[in-house]
Amino acid sequence: MTHEHHQWLADVNRSIVESYERDQEMARQPGSTQRTGHRVESRWDDVLRDWLPPQYEIGKQKYLLLETDDGPTLTKETDLVVFHPHYPEKLRVKESVLASGVAVAFSSRRTIGREDIREAYEDAITLRRGMKIREGTQQAYLVPPVFYGLLGESHDWKAPGSTPKGNIKAMTEEFDRDLVNAPREGLDFICVADLGIWGRVTTVLTERFLSQNLNVTPLMALATGTSGKESLVLSGMRHDYKQENLSPLTNFIGLLWGKLAINDLSLKPLADGFRITETTGTTGSFGMRSYKLADVTTAQIASQYRNSGPWYY
């Protein structure tokens, strides 16, 4: 069923794609990169302001101050950040902001290609590795304290015979395998207005679940190179390759609310509403990177949750 707010978001999505087409001539002009980049940034800024709660203010072109002592002290300039409501207003106007005051950050691009996706992964990793684990819980180890996404109007793969969705699938699997050390480090969103939305799914399959579903154990053992009996974490970027009814932006907004509600329960009523009205996809396929739960949390946490049911976000 298509709900009225799906059409509202489809209209916004269409306006982004049309703006991309209108700006084609400008983008071809020498020295226009910064101007067109700012126009793209402003369009995504408008989307976030219109579709996030009023207390979640947006900031542009910010450096995020990190927390650890053994790495960079701040990130590269980040195109868009969404502040936590508690972050002091006077600090929001500064060039550098505390990473702990940011709920989600985005890189925005007019046209997305391989290097943009790789760079977004690297920026997400730098941010998460620069933030300390908050507490000794499964969620704190697996859910990033700041979500990170890549927003684009279009993509590079338009030659005859190109497979843009297949390309993004292959790249996310490659970068999850080669760059990411834990689920909390991986990129959370890729939204391309004229193509689709990819969102991270992370699932914990506990020892109890695996022991009660013996048909799954051999598959997990084969896929993960483990016994298939110890608690596992599967993580990857999901996309519904068959869904054509909803615009990328429709799914993106539903997915974004769902992620933000993990760290802010006050958002749960509307996040649940988006989920129930299928504003965010709950189906699709993803290339899963597997981890032992004890390796990406602690042995104590793995033992504590071994008899729990599956968990995902």
Predicted local confidence at residue 204, as pLDDT: 94
* pLDDT beneath 50, residues of the chain: none
CA–CA separation, 106 and 61 (whole Å)? 10
Among 278, 205, 195, 271, smallest CA distance to 235 is for 205
Arithmetic mean of pLDDT over the chain = 92
Long-range contacts of 205-212 (CB under 8 A, 24+ apart): 205/231, 205/232, 205/233, 205/234, 205/310, 206/231, 206/293, 206/305, 206/306, 206/307, 206/308, 206/309, 206/310, 206/311, 207/231, 207/306, 207/307, 208/306, 208/307, 208/308, 208/309, 209/309, 209/310
Predicted local confidence at residue 25, as pLDDT: 79
For the chain, first and last CA: distance in Å? 24
Predicted local confidence at residue 220, as pLDDT: 60
Both tokens of residue 309? 């049911």
Predicted local confidence at residue 224, as pLDDT: 56
CB 138 within 8 A of CB 305: yes
Element (H, E) at 74: none
Q: What is the pLDDT of residues 178-230, one digit of tens each?
A: 999 999 999 999 999 999 999 999 999 998 888 887 666 555 655 555 555 78
CA–CA separation, 297 and 15 (whole Å)? 43
Considering the entire predicted model, what is its pTM? 0.92
Number of alpha carbons in the 13 Å side-chain half-sphere of residue 257: 24
Predicted local confidence at residue 191, as pLDDT: 98
Give me the residues paired with residue 198 across strands. 190
Predicted local confidence at residue 221, as pLDDT: 54
